[in-house]
Structure 1
Amino acid sequence: MSGIGPVEGPGGRTPSVNTPLLPGRWSHRWEVRRAALSARGRWAVKVATAALAAVAVVGLGHALRTPEPVPDPGPWPAQVTYIAYESGRPQPQPAAGSGVFGFVVSVRDGSPVTILGVTPSFEGLGAEIGPSTPLTVKQGTTRHITIKMIVHKCSGLPLDVDLPVLDVTLRNTRAIQNQSFIFGGGYPRDLSAFLHRICRPTSTSSPSAP
């Protein structure tokens, strides 16, 4: 039998031309889902890009931020402490085997400086400072001190001193320093006279048995 007409389905029903078949429905759903996934992906990319941009801005802000100023610790104690010998100032009568020498200490700048100890550079010679340590000298002030030299052993002591050295331990709010002070002028002469008086030029024994 030949002819042109609509194709009848089961039961004699004629399918509508606008009704999609089953494979077409799955294809349509997949396109909708893919579009939704594409939109989510674009949104995720936008969020990630915005987050990276925010991190970059914060990092740039930290990099361009002016660093906070570091507090000035002040000068080193040895830079502002001055010690000079007072040759013309009368000193107390020393005990046997010792000699007393006068000095003046001043601090020119910074925080107060504390003298923690004084040590002669010669082996066999000891020193005691007065007033006793620790002795603090404030900025812009001057202190008169005495250093009592004590001969423990004459052997090896240079009786004729050229440029004697005193090792002084200083402390302020910045640091503790050991500073060597070299004295000229009348101190080498007076120290040499003291050593000659105690030890005598030919002595090689202790002060108690010259």
Structure 2
Amino acid sequence: MSGVGPVEPGEGTHVRDAPSAPRPRRGPLERYFEQHRRAVLGALLISAVLAGSGYLHATRPRPESPPAPPHPSQVTTVAYLNPQAVDVETDPRSFSFGVEVTVESDPPVTVTRISQPYAGLSVTSDPRTPFRTKAGSPRKIMITMRVTECGKVPRNVGLPFLDVTLRNTHAIQMHSFILGPRYAQDLSHALQVACSNDFR
């Protein structure tokens, strides 16, 4: 044999395969991930979406709380209607008149008390207090004042008012309603009649 070159195997011989490099050993977590790759990636994706939506929910702007209902005196009016005929011979010291109580908006208002500033007068109402008035349903109230002591009532009433205690779901208030000049004239006349002897 002559020449240069690789030695070729003869008949019946073969090249022995080189042993393959050993595969690195994997831990149980790696084996689990390889077997369940799609499920694990899906679970991670769901976790990320839930965490993101939880963050968005926690940082969302808070809705404004609804406005508080108005104070009862802000939505209630009391209007003087007219004096009522009273039998002067039977009870010369009484004076009756009508008022209309109107509530402009919800919630309903309860009238818990009606009074007036003069110590010599007592006040009763029909219906008796407490009574409730709803928005859009004006209520007519009859008020009777009776002179109990002429020395404690004025001769001429300049600007008389009614003290009315009102209540709704927001507050309880005492409010003074000025009923106007016609009420002042009628009340002054009634007091003159009731106390004519004492005023001379």
Normalised by the length of structure 2, the TM-score is: 0.65
Runs (5+) with no aligned partner, structure 1: 1-57, 205-210
1:152–1:162: structure 2 CA closer, same or farther, 3 Å change rule? Answer: same
- Mapped to 1, the partners of 2:175 and 2:161 lie a distance apart of 10
Are the equivalent residues in 1 in contact too, given 2:110–2:131 (CA < 8 A)?
A: yes
Question: Residues 105-158 of structure 1: CA distance to partner in whole angstroms, max 9, x if unpaired?
Answer: 110012111111111111211111111111111011111111100111111311
> 3-state DSSP class of the match of 1:179?
strand
2:129 pairs with 1:125:
no
What letter matches 2:124 in structure 1?
Answer: E
Counterparts in 2 of 1:120-159, with a 5 A limit? 120-159=116-155
> Is the CA contact 2:192–2:199 (under 8 Å) kept in the aligned structure 1?
no
* Aligned position for 2:187: 191
For structure 2, list consecutive stretches of 5 or more residues without a partner in the other structure.
1-54
Seen in structure 2, the aligned counterparts of structure 1 residues 153 and 90 have a Cα distance that, compared at 3 Å, is closer
1:111 paired residue number:
107
Q: 1:71 Cα deviation (Å)?
A: 3.4
Match of 2:81 in 1: 86
- Determine which of 65, 73, 80 is the counterpart of 2:68: 73
Report the secondary structure of 1:155's partner residue.
helix
What is the identity, as a one-letter code, of the residue corresponding to 1:198?
A
- In 1: Cα distance, 2:153 partner to 2:162 partner: 15
Q: Which amino acid aligns with 1:78?
A: S
| 8 Å contact kept, 2:114–2:129 | no
1:68 offset after TM fit, Å?
4.3
Q: Deviations over 1:51-91 (max 9, x none)?
A: xxxxxxx8xx96x552343233311100000110012x645
Contact 2:86 2:95 in 1 (8 A): no
In the alignment, what sits opposite 2:160?
A: 164
SS in 2 for 1:86: strand
Quote the RMSD (CA, aligned, Å).
Answer: 2.6
Q: Closer, same or farther in 2 for the Cα pair 1:114/1:107, shift >3 Å? A: same
Contact 1:159-1:201 within 8 A present in 2 as well: no
Within 2, Cα distance between the matches of 1:201 and 1:164? 22
